[in-house]
Amino acid sequence: MMDETRNDLEVGNETAVMMYLNILKYAKHHCPEDEDPYEITDRIFTDMFAANKASN
């Protein structure tokens, strides 16, 4: 039987992936045709982490 215990890093990584996918879904739905939703998502995602790091 596998150990089902998850550590903080695993939970944090899963949360980050889900957050990225939610931003991407929103960007794909709302960005203009001439803009790349992946580029927008990457920029928002990295800026969010930078802002969080700066505030801690």
Given a cut of 80, whether residue 56 has pLDDT beyond it is no
Q: What's the confidence (pLDDT) of residue 16?
A: 94
pLDDT in the model for residue 3: 66
The pTM for the full model equals 0.79
Angle, in degrees to the nearest 10, between helices 8-30 and 37-55: 140
Amino acid at 18: M
| Long-range CB contacts for residues 13-19, cutoff 8 Å, separation at least 24 | 19/45, 19/48
Cα–Cα dist 30/37, whole Å? 9
> pLDDT per residue over 21-51, tens digit each?
999 999 999 999 999 999 999 999 999 989 9
